[in-house]
Amino acid sequence: MSGESARPAAPRPIRLGMVGGGEGAFIGAVHRIAARLDGQYALVAGALSASPEKACRSAAALGLAPERAYASFTEMARAEAARPDGIEAVAIVTPNHMHAPVAAAFLEAGIHVICDKPLATSLAEARRLQELATARRRLFAVTYNYIGYPLVRHAQALIAAGALGEIRIVQVEYPQDWLTEPVEDTGQKQAAWRTDPAQAGRGGCLGDIGTHAFHLAGFVTGMQPAELAADLATFVAGRRLDDNVHIMLRYASGARGMLWASQVAPGNENNLRLRVYGAKGGIAWRQEQPDALHLSPFGHPTEIVTRASPAVLPAGQRVTRIPPGHPEGYLEAFATIYAEIAAAIRSEANEAVTFPGIADGVAGVAFIEAALRSSENGAAWVRL
């Protein structure tokens, strides 16, 4: 190699397993794409369905070795922990009610956990997982993926630097329309489990997308509400869980906020939006237009900061992959979370590496329980 310096060897991909995410699953495929986008992981094992036949078919379709296609997560945790080439991390992409038992099994086996949200269906379960992860000294990540966008990172850095001044108002909303009619009655798989309290937990829209809105607002502002007052509604006749959520928020600093989440708002596909206003200016960001951030310094014209702008702070530049004019979207943002987790698993993490951890997961479940408690008491104010 005369005239060239040897390149450092690429790190070996982290051996990844998956529980759930078999045939017909949406979020399992998203996790797999995100995990492999940066070449950081190799999927080598799975218990991809509660149905052994479906689990086997799904594993074969993904090219997994037959001996590493498991009929149950308990068998998988035990067998993989015993292998010299066993998985180092597991992605949990099951319906909500299975998050806690699956995560506990893999933590006990000494395997890092990457879990879809919400962390658990009760705060007691969430806290037990936090204790177990601490005791086993295993990494536990929760995929609140919307904080992976470059301009979300830029917005967080702006606020942390004081660009907006003292924060006064936080407005976050996440409306969708796909449950406007009772599609769960048609056998639609994604709707069926999300509207079933036995699988989703006590929060419907609240747990499914309300927690995303709550986490995004907390990440960007660096603030968590001290109190909330929630009004949960179920508009579709016969549906057993909420499909629309209005929540008022009070912060210890004196700031005020509002959170709206809905799955029955026609004309909204995945319209996650965040607006934050301070004494010196405001920002606005939409998930459906993720490469633009509106920055409004008080007394000056609103600026549209794009991902290509030299004004984007290092926090946003660091997680940008592709050149200007090529949108970075949902899958790339999800992949950013996986890449940050990989750095932490390899003990390469530094102050810049950011991903939602077990504390974020516990906070999300605490938010769900507080909102339910408030709504059940006539939208009374309750402490978080």
376 in the same domain as 228: yes
pTM: 0.95
Q: Is residue 345 part of a domain?
A: no
Q: Is residue 165 part of a domain?
A: yes
Q: What is the model's pLDDT at position 114?
A: 98
| Amino acid (1-letter code) at residue 129 | L
113 in the same domain as 206: no
Tell me how many domains the chain contains.
Answer: 2
260 in the same domain as 132: no
| Domain final residue, candidates 96, 113, 142 | 142
264 in the same domain as 366: yes
Q: What is the model's pLDDT at position 3?
A: 43
Q: What is the model's pLDDT at position 1?
A: 37
Q: Is residue 2 part of a domain?
A: no
pLDDT per residue rounded down to tens, the chain (384 residues): 334 445 556 689 999 999 999 988 899 999 999 999 999 999 999 999 999 899 999 999 999 999 999 999 999 999 999 999 999 999 999 999 999 999 999 999 999 999 999 999 999 999 999 999 999 999 999 999 999 999 999 999 999 999 999 999 999 999 999 999 999 999 999 999 999 999 999 999 999 999 999 999 999 999 999 999 999 999 999 999 999 999 999 999 999 999 999 999 999 999 999 999 999 999 999 999 999 999 999 999 999 999 989 999 999 999 999 888 898 999 999 999 999 999 999 987 666 789 999 999 999 999 999 999 999 999 999 999
CATH number of the domain at 236, please. 3.30.360.10
193 in the same domain as 125: no
Distance CA 205, CA 243 (A): 5
228 in the same domain as 364: yes
Q: Is residue 329 part of a domain?
A: no
158 in the same domain as 125: no
Answer left, alpha or beta for residue 21, where phi above 0 means left and psi between -120 and 50 means alpha.
left
| Amino acid (1-letter code) at residue 235 | F
Q: Among candidates 90, 128, 96, 85, which has minimal Cα distance to 109?
A: 90
Q: Is residue 67 part of a domain?
A: yes
Q: Is residue 293 part of a domain?
A: yes
Answer left, alpha or beta for residue 255, where phi above 0 means left and psi between -120 and 50 means alpha.
beta
205 in the same domain as 232: yes
Q: Is residue 339 part of a domain?
A: no
315 in the same domain as 262: yes
168 in the same domain as 303: yes
305 in the same domain as 156: yes
| Domain final residue, candidates 98, 123, 142 | 142
Q: What is the model's pLDDT at position 24?
A: 83
For 76, the domain range is 14-142
Q: What is the model's pLDDT at position 2?
A: 38
